């Protein structure tokens, strides 16, 4: 089973599962708004600590969560290395001086600030999408954000078809191998076979999309003003408490940083 298909929540009654999908998205945007304007390391570090504590109590499967964060970790590692070596904040104690490359206490502090801010911003979004059923997410968007049902459920259907495209790609590769079409060690032939395979997959995806669109039209997925929801999910008290707690965490972390004298506006 693909890691994207594995459930990240062990218990369907876990707190993170009972929250409305809109609540998770709003909380993620609150954190984004609070951390996007700060350039210090204290505020994102405090928020990241609160996020890890909340994840630990949310009934999430850490192994699958970490596997889904591999790409984020690789991106953060590259960002940390480039910031450490090429940042313009080179004051403080110099630890390495190799011509144009200089590592100092200020560059290390800038690197820690960038890494913690990126992790603190990205982690809530990853958890929100990984712990939410796509169908419930689409229903919540239509119910609370008033997104167009035709576009929303069309995007949901496309998302559901992503694993099918993976199966189609493997079928194409096996069919070509059965016909003796092998690139061998030639990089040029390998690139040509890959390009033709991508084109074949695109044709299959377009045909499947046309059939899906026709089926959705025949089932009433059009822009009708009298459309109702089959699975309405109102906002509960727990959702408002969660959003308020998120605002309190971000505001509290910012206040602590201001008191310590480390808070700094990003664009100053």
Same domain assignment for residues 56 and 86: yes
Same domain assignment for residues 132 and 159: no
Listed residue (180, 202, 183) closest to 192, CA to CA? 183
**Residues ≥6 apart with Cβ < 8 Å to 233:** 20, 136, 139, 140, 143
Residue 128 lies in a domain: yes
Residue 9 lies in a domain: no
DSSP 12: T
Same domain assignment for residues 190 and 247: no
Same domain assignment for residues 23 and 153: no
Q: Is the pTM value of this prediction over 0.75?
A: no
Same domain assignment for residues 114 and 204: no
DSSP 161: T
Same domain assignment for residues 153 and 132: no
Q: What is the pLDDT of residues 126-155, one digit of tens each?
A: 888 777 778 888 888 888 888 887 778 777
Tell me how far apart the alpha carbons of residues 21 and 240 are, in angstroms, rounded to a whole number.
Answer: 12
Is residue 229 over pLDDT 70?
Answer: yes
Provide, for the chain, the percentages of residues in helix, strand and coil under a 3-state DSSP scheme, each rounded to the nearest 5: 65, 5, 30
Task: Please tell me the least confidently modeled range out of 34-48, 52-66, 231-245.
Answer: 52-66
What is the tally of structural domains in the chain?
2
Is residue 198 over pLDDT 70?
Answer: yes
DSSP 3-state of 60: strand
Same domain assignment for residues 131 and 155: no
Range of the domain at 184: 149-219
């Amino acid at each position: 089973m693909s890691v994207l298909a594995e459930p990240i929540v062990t218990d369907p009654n876990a707190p993170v599962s009972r929250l409305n999908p809109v609540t998770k998205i709003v909380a993620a945007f609150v954190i984004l708004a609070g951390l996007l304007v700060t350039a210090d390391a204290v505020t994102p570090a405090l928020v990241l600590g609160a996020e890890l504590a909340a994840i630990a109590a949310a009934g999430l499967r850490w192994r699958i969560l970490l596997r889904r964060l591999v790409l984020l970790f690789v991106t953060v590692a590259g960002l940390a290395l480039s910031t450490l070596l090429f940042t313009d904040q080179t004051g403080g104690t110099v630890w390495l001086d190799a011509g144009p490359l200089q590592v100092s206490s200020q560059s290390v502090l800038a690197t820690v600030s960038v890494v913690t801010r990126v992790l603190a911003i990205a982690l809530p979004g990853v958890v929100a999408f990984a712990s939410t059923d796509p169908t419930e997410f689409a229903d919540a968007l239509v119910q609370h954000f008033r997104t167009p049902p035709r576009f929303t459920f069309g995007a949901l259907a496309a998302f559901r078809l992503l694993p099918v495209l993976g199966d189609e790609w493997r079928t194409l590769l096996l069919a070509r191998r059965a016909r003796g079409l092998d690139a061998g060690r030639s990089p040029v032939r390998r690139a040509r076979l890959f390009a033709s395979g991508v084109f074949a997959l695109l044709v299959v995806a377009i045909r499947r999309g046309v059939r899906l669109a026709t089926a959705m039209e025949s089932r009433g997925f059009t822009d009708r003003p009298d459309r109702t929801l089959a699975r309405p999910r109102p906002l509960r008290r727990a959702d408002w408490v969660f959003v308020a707690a998120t605002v309190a965490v971000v505001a509290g972390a910012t206040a602590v940083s201001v008191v310590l004298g480390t808070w700094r506006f990003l664009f100053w």
